[in-house]
Chains A and B, each alone.
Chain A
């Protein structure tokens, strides 16, 4: 079945450490996104990518980095510069570029990141 796979489900980070969250999709979607979910704040956009080798900052990109070397993959690195990384991270993708490219997002099951 087609879908989005995020791994790991739970991740722990030590102070000063960079960690990478994986997101893979087999839906042949052009666009991929990373959102951060904090209690009472809804989802906030970190980065998004419309095509391979291109990505844009979202609303809270500081302390994060991404790459889009393959259409299927959009890994997110939480760097040591992110001072409050504890959150639930959701990856999403959406279909081929059309007039209504925001028609429907497909979400992964998420990664819970905690700081030790």
Chain B
């Protein structure tokens, strides 16, 4: 069994300040972990993924996430928020060779000018 908990339903930051989106997971086996972003009226886009290689994963648009097995966490960060980062973010877990993905409930990010 696998599941994902996104610890914040809504995060509000000022432009130029750091962004932290928290994600905890549970998985019976070694997981694959992903972060997806959904902008208003658009489809989902893959930000980054972890598949048992380096624990610090760099993604698009300046985002990165760190896999911490001891804490079962995969938090997403960005050093400096931009207005275009306002969107819904989903943390996703799956297992290798398994088509089923489990999505978190999502975190809405708003960016203040």
Binding site secondary structure of chain B? loop
- Please name all residues of chain A whose beta carbon is closer than 8 Å to the beta carbon of B100 when the two chains form the complex: 45, 48, 58-59
Count: A-B pairs, CB below 8 Å:
58
- Contact of B106 with A100 in the complex, beta carbons under 8 Å: no
Q: Among A31, A35, A40, A109, point to the contact of B105 (Cβ < 8 A).
A: A40
Q: Among B49, B90, B99, point to the contact of A50 (Cβ < 8 A).
A: B99
A52: shortest Cβ distance to chain B, in Å? Answer: 15
Which of B14-22, B38-46, B71-79 touches A?
Answer: B38-46
- Contact of B42 with A42 in the complex, beta carbons under 8 Å: no
CA distance A4 to B6 in the complex (A): 28
A: interface residue count bin? 20 to 34
B26 CB-CB contact with A under 8 Å: no
User: Which residues of B pack against A, CB within 8 Å?
Assistant: 4, 6, 9, 32, 42-46, 49, 51, 90, 94, 96-101, 103-106
User: Which residues of A pack against B, CB within 8 Å?
Assistant: 4, 31, 33, 35, 40-45, 48, 50, 58-59, 90, 92, 94, 99-105, 107-110
